[in-house]
Amino acid sequence: MNFTEPAISDREDRQDVPTVASGSGRVRRHANSGTAGIWTWPDVILVASLVVIGFVLRSIGVGWESIWYDEACSLKMASASFHDLITGAALDIGNPCGYFILLKLWCSVFGYTIESARIFSAVADVMSIVITWVFAMTICRDRRIAVTAVVMVTINPAMIFLAREARVFGLLTALVTTVAWLTEKILRDGRRRYWVALTACSIVLPHLHYYTLFVLTVLWIPLVFGRKDERLSRFVQYVGMGLISLLCFLPWSPNFLLQLTLWTAPFNPWMKHAAYFPVYTLAGRTGIWKQDGLMMMLLAQVVVLGGVYLPALLSIKSVFRIIRVPALIAIGVMSLALFVSVVYDSLLNCRYLSPVIPCIIIAWSVAIWHLPQRLKMLRWCSIALVCLIAMGSLGRMYARNHKHDWRGVAAMISHRAADSPVVFYEDIGEESFHYYRAGHATRRVPERFGNAGEGWNESGLESELQQMGDFWFCLWTLDDWEAIETWMEDRFDRIDAADFGEIQVRRYQVKPTTVP
């Protein structure tokens, strides 16, 4: 791939900057540098309005749904002391401490509630709207492209869904988009302040999520393979940035190595995630998901690939030098995640890839607006299709619950038998349950059920459950849940039951002893 010639947009800081024709007119290039030409008062009003709309979409009814397992872990980690978080005494199995420290700071002001933690994600995620505008205008200074990109980011269902959770992905999306923009600025003038800012981001990102190591790794492609006369200096700067980031990560590295030994990837159909990701970027998990069946997912793939991405590919050759940074970051991160999933462990997941969605949207917006004039109708049909997909997905997002109803489980147990302990098969919701019933006696069953209950028979679980007298038992509707229920009812009497979607809740008591 040839990066030796600077793209037209790379020469925006020079006085002899030409214009380049696009499909529906001429894309104007500014000869000035910095932020001149990026903001006008109408632009400020537009972006501010979209930020407000984006925040409303991300925060409306933020307390409607119950807390789920990962969010309960986030609040538990945020409740730990700063010392325990920094030293790793309070350690999440799969994540570094950075997000939990920031969440703790936020919750110390606004309260340790799930609503407060979710609002933190919403606030962080709407920053992506502003950064997307700046990034798009930096690339091409075409307001049609910038408006298209920023509107798509504002209403993107995948981003909105994750911004309504007490997890790191909203913050991560904003920072990854910032890294992409800083990389673009370095390619233009290489000013020291952009390298300093990029180095600061490279220090912070690995402490937020380990997936960002993929982002920092792929940066060498656009940074090093630029103009020939700058390759050596940029290589030295990139290596220096990497060394500084590595030195700052070293104090945490013992915890990282410990996490590698403790963490076992759950069953994750990474091939399905890889195949579905193009649809996920536009529809999220509330448009079409695995519950809708394979045929619906295949139909969604055909519609998205044929109606949205294929039209953009028609102009990709003419615009690649303009979109090289967002395109290479998105493609590089996905490729590395795919490679690691093949050779090491199943790490490819749509939500882990979600921080590159603004980069994908920006690259798509540039490509779709550079379609030839004769394909103008195709452009508008593609944009309309993206909007229709977003509206349909958002409608399904707000119309029904998508998380397991642990709040309902806790309320039911409190009403029917508040003193009975609750037993959880594996870790399906003990932390979530404790959020609503703090101090309630619980017991987790980590032992595998095995073939016909061999694992439980060998662990002595039956004797321990008999000592409880009566208890609640919670489990998923797993493949072997009927065998588990049979095992329980062979040994205990079921005296109550309730179903909460995929959660089966049963109350058992010890069978009465028969006296001959």
Local structure of residue 62 (DSSP, 8 states): T
pLDDT score, position 267: 54
* E strand or H helix at 456: helix 454-459
Which one, of 132, 120, 74, lies nearest residue 100 by Cα?
74
Question: Are residues 237 and 194 in contact, defined by beta-carbon separation less than 8 angstroms?
Answer: no
For the record, the structure tokens of 472 come out as 């609640």
Rounded Cα gap, residues 108 and 104, in angstroms: 6
Rounded Cα gap, residues 335 and 383, in angstroms: 27
pLDDT score, position 209: 95
In this structure, the number of other CB atoms found within 10 A of the CB of residue 281 comes to 27
CATH numbers and ranges of domains, the chain: 41-399 (no CATH), 406-510 (3.30.110)
pLDDT band with cut points at 50, 70 and 90 for residue 459: confident
* 80-123 pLDDT tens trace: 999 999 999 998 888 999 999 999 999 999 999 999 999 999 99
Indicate the length of the chain as a whole number. 516
pLDDT band with cut points at 50, 70 and 90 for residue 348: confident
Rounded Cα gap, residues 104 and 83, in angstroms: 12
For the record, the structure tokens of 413 come out as 């147990």
* 261-299 pLDDT tens trace: 876 655 557 788 888 899 999 999 888 877 777 788 889
Per the listing, tokens 């040839």 go with 2
C-alpha distance from residue 220 to each of 188, 229, 279 (Å): 15, 16, 28
pLDDT score, position 343: 84
DSSP states along 33-93: -TTTTT--HHHHHHHHHHHHHHHHHHHTTTTSSPP-HHHHHHHHHHTS-HHHHHHTSS--S
For the record, the structure tokens of 99 come out as 């997000």
* 326-340 pLDDT tens trace: 999 999 999 999 998
For residues 428-444, give the mean pLDDT: 89
The residues with which 504 forms a beta bridge, in sequence order, are 475, 499
The residues with which 503 forms a beta bridge, in sequence order, are 476, 500
The residues with which 443 forms a beta bridge, in sequence order, are 423
Give the amino acid at 19. Answer: T
In this structure, the number of other CB atoms found within 10 A of the CB of residue 402 comes to 15
**Sign (positive or negative) of CA dihedral 175, 178, 182, 183:** positive
Burial of 426-445, coded b for 16+ CB within 10 Å and e otherwise, reads eebbbbbbbbbbeebebeeb
pLDDT score, position 263: 67
pLDDT score, position 514: 46
Q: What is the pTM of this model?
A: 0.89
DSSP states along 231-279: HHHHHHHHHHHHHHHHHHHGGGHHHHHHHHHH--PPP--HHHHHHHHHH
SS3 at position 495: strand
Question: Are residues 420 and 471 in contact, defined by beta-carbon separation less than 8 angstroms?
Answer: yes
Residue 496 has pLDDT above 70, yes or no: yes
Rounded Cα gap, residues 53 and 42, in angstroms: 16
Rounded Cα gap, residues 353 and 334, in angstroms: 7
In this structure, the number of other CB atoms found within 10 A of the CB of residue 2 comes to 7
Which one, of 239, 230, 170, lies nearest residue 202 by Cα?
239
**Sign (positive or negative) of CA dihedral 312, 318, 322, 323:** positive
DSSP states along 162-209: HHTSSSSHHHHHHHHHHHHHHHHHHHHH--HHHHHHHHHHHHHGGGT-
pLDDT band with cut points at 50, 70 and 90 for residue 7: very low
φ/ψ of 306, rounded to 5, equals: -80, -35
pLDDT score, position 266: 55
For the record, the structure tokens of 43 come out as 């632009």
The whole-angstrom distance between residue 192's C-alpha and the CA centroid of its chain comes to 31
Burial class (CB within 10 angstroms; exposed 0-12, middle 13-18, buried 19+) of 89: exposed
Q: How many CA atoms lie within 13 A of 478 on its CB side?
A: 15
Residue 212 has pLDDT above 90, yes or no: yes
Query: Which residues lie below 8 Å from residue 8, measured CB to CB, with a gap of 6+?
Result: 17, 18, 20, 29, 321, 322
Which one, of 113, 245, 276, 95, lies nearest residue 179 by Cα?
245
C-alpha distance from residue 315 to each of 233, 246, 361 (Å): 32, 39, 15
Residue 17 has pLDDT above 60, yes or no: no
